[in-house]
């Protein structure tokens, strides 16, 4: 008689078949529920943002009410008139959620800034064109002196520079204007009467110390030379002296390095500078190509 075996039958237990069927039905049920559902993208983004703020670095804090100031004097922003303002953004920039300082960024609209820039540029171009026109008029009157190299006429932005060289105008170490040069200064004066703008008369020397007894130093010599030219311009009572400034710079503003006799000759000069515009009222302009003495001479000869 065979002995009865108490071991479980081979294969999986019988209950596993029922459990597997149940899991398969549950998965189908949830897949069916998911297929019927719709995702709310807005709520999902809000949830994503909340998680980011909770676990990340907080750069911006969203507030439900107007931010309040931290000053002892004014704890709140007082309501004001609804006028247009350049403040179009109020932010609270912090790396600490307990920090309550405000970062108010004053940002003008692009259109306003562009209009201001265009206005400044147009004004500068207008003054620059006026300076070039007046410089050509000076060059036409002084064309003989420009040819023989005793005078240069140039423009630099809105400035007209009439450069009187020492050659023929002053004796070495002297501040007395040569008599033969007086008619030349008179030509400048006649044109200057009809040209607007502030005028600066500047005297310059080289770096060799003054050795004479008439002046104390090159500063005195340069100032007296500029003053001699100014007195000759003031000979006409119609010249308004309030628009003039007379100054001597000695060797502090050389045109060329004082390394040769030729350069030192060029540095000894008196400049009549006509300012067509006030630089304090204009932004730093975009520098265009200056009108050199050679270009002015060519234009005046046409």
Q: pLDDT confidence of 285, banded at 50, 70, 90?
A: very low
Q: What is the rounded radius of gyration, in angstroms, for the C-alpha atoms of the chain?
A: 42
pLDDT digit string, tens, across residues 58-89 = 555 555 555 555 444 444 445 555 555 544 45
CB < 8 Å & 24+ apart, contacts of 90-98: 91/60, 92/60, 92/61, 92/63, 92/67, 93/59, 93/60, 94/58, 94/61, 95/57, 95/58, 95/59, 97/58, 97/61
Cβ-based neighbours of 245, under 8 Å, separated by 6 or more: 198, 199, 200, 201
For residue 153, CA distances in Å to 138, 171, 207 come to: 7, 22, 24
**What is the structure's pLDDT at 112?**
64
Residue 180 has pLDDT above 70, yes or no: yes
Ranges 109-113, 216-220, 233-237: which has the least confidence: 109-113
For residue 151, CA distances in Å to 10, 102, 143, 198, 252 come to: 121, 61, 9, 20, 21
CA–centroid distance for 262 within its chain: 37
- Note the helical H segments in the chain: 14-36, 41-55, 110-141, 143-147, 182-192, 218-233, 261-267, 293-300
What structural domains and CATH numbers belong to the chain? 114-300 (3.30.1330.60)
DSSP assigned state of 87: E
User: Could you tell me the pTM of the whole model?
Assistant: 0.56
CA–centroid distance for 282 within its chain: 10
The C-alpha atoms of residue 93 and residue 106 are separated, in whole angstroms, by 14
* 269-275 and 198-204 beta bridge pairing: antiparallel
pLDDT digit string, tens, across residues 91-148 = 545 455 444 444 444 444 455 666 666 777 788 888 888 889 989 999 999 988 888 8
CA–centroid distance for 216 within its chain: 42
The C-alpha atoms of residue 92 and residue 101 are separated, in whole angstroms, by 7
pLDDT above 70 covers what percent of the chain?
62
Ranges 50-54, 185-189, 260-264: which has the least confidence: 50-54
Structure tokens at 108: 């003008």
**What is the structure's pLDDT at 103?**
45
Ranges 32-36, 126-130, 255-259: which has the least confidence: 32-36
**151, β-bridge pairs:** 164
Residue 250 has pLDDT above 50, yes or no: yes
């Amino acid at each position: 008689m065979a002995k009865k075996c108490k071991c479980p039958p081979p294969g999986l237990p019988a209950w596993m078949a029922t459990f597997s069927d149940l899991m398969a039905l549950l998965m189908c049920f949830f897949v069916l529920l998911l297929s019927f559902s719709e995702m709310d993208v807005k709520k999902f983004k809000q949830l994503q943002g909340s998680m980011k703020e909770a676990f990340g670095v907080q750069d911006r804090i969203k507030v439900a009410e107007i931010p309040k100031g931290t000053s002892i004097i004014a704890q709140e922003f007082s309501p004001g008139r609804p006028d247009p303002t350049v403040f179009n953004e109020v932010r609270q920039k912090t790396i600490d959620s307990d920090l309550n300082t405000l970062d108010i960024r004053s940002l003008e609209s692009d259109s306003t800034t562009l209009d201001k820039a265009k206005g400044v540029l147009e004004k500068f171009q207008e003054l620059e064109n006026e300076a070039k026109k007046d410089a050509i008029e000076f060059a036409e009157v002084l064309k003989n002196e420009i040819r023989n190299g005793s005078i240069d006429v140039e423009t630099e932005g809105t400035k007209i520079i009439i450069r009187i060289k020492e050659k023929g105008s002053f004796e070495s170490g002297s501040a007395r204007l040569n008599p033969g040069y007086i008619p030349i200064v008179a030509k400048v004066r006649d044109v200057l009467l009809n040209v607007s703008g502030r005028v600066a008369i500047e005297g310059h020397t080289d770096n060799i110390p003054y050795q004479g007894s008439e002046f104390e130093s090159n500063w005195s010599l340069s100032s007296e030379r500029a003053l001699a030219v100014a007195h000759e311009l003031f000979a006409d009572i119609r010249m308004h002296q309030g628009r003039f400034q007379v100054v001597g710079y000695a060797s502090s503003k050389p045109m060329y390095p004082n390394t040769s006799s030729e350069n030192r000759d060029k540095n000894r000069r008196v400049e009549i500078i006509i300012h067509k515009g006030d630089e304090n009222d204009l932004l730093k302009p975009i520098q265009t190509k200056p009108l050199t003495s050679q270009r002015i001479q060519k234009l005046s000869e046409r």
